[in-house]
A and B are shown apart, each in its own frame.
Chain A
Amino acid sequence: DAGVIQSPRHEVTEMGQEVTLRCKPISGHDYLFWYRQTMMRGLELLIYFNNNVPIDDSGMPEDRFSAKMPNASFSTLKIQPSEPRDSAVYFCASSFAGPQRQHFGDGTRLSIL
């Protein structure tokens, strides 16, 4: 049973570059969440989707961040332009019929130099 799949696992890029993180949720799940985790701020919810529609993006830091879910099996989180303070581990999670039992991916460790 495949879990939530995130790619890439690690990304190192220079400041100013565009970064795209990808997520494949568990088949049949109708909720998808993007989180960011840093030592300073802990685990923060950035945005979540229900049935491919963005419901709450109040956690998105600023206009440099955008997220899409073109279909039920794929979502992207894009940062353009990237900055060193965006360095973090980004997690994608999915769940069925609500946020209570979320399944998390292994995360993408992003380093912006």
Chain B
Amino acid sequence: DAKTTQPNSMESNEEEPVHLPCNHSTISGTDYIHWYRQLPSQGPEYVIHGLTSNVNNRMASLAIAEDRKSSTLILHRATLRDAAVYYCILREFGGATNKLIFGTGTLLAVQP
């Protein structure tokens, strides 16, 4: 699997936007970009995924660079409940490997 690089930790203030970066310079044309998050003492939770175009859902937005070598998960208004570890993961679509490999992620702290 192609690798991703994320900052170990970030801080945000409540009700402000948060931009979580992810670098994936070795991404291939068929790799999808996935984001999951893990709240304290819970299992990971799906956030969003995309291939080339920016994606929006009720939880977040995913902005993908034109060359696809990086992406940004955007939380539009952080709440205390958004404090979690955020994982950026690549998956090859249609390949023999049909799984997600979680890295170490970014620990997001949200200050009131």
Contact = CB atoms under 8 A, between A and B. Distances in A.
Nearest to A48: B99
A84 to B, nearest CB: 22
B99 A99 contact: yes
A100 B44 contact: no
Contacts of B34: 100
B43 A100 contact: no
A105 interface: yes
Interface range, B side: 20 to 34
A35 B44 CA distance: 11
A103 B36 CA distance: 10
Contacts of A93: 43-44
Contacts of B32: 100
Interface stretch (B5-13, B64-72, B74-82, B101-109): B101-109
Given A100-B32, A100-B34, A100-B91, A106 B101 contact: no
A56 B99 CA distance: 9
Contact of A45 (B36, B38, B99): B99
B48 to A, nearest CB: 10
B55 to A, nearest CB: 12
B43 A104 contact: yes
A99 B97 CA distance: 10
Contact of A104 (B44, B91, B101): B44
A8 interface: no
A43 B99 contact: no
B42 A106 contact: yes
B16 interface: no
The list of the 4 closest CB pairs from A to B, nearest first, reads: A104-B43, A43-B102, A101-B46, A91-B43
Interface of A: 4, 33, 35, 42-45, 48, 50, 55-56, 91, 93, 98-107
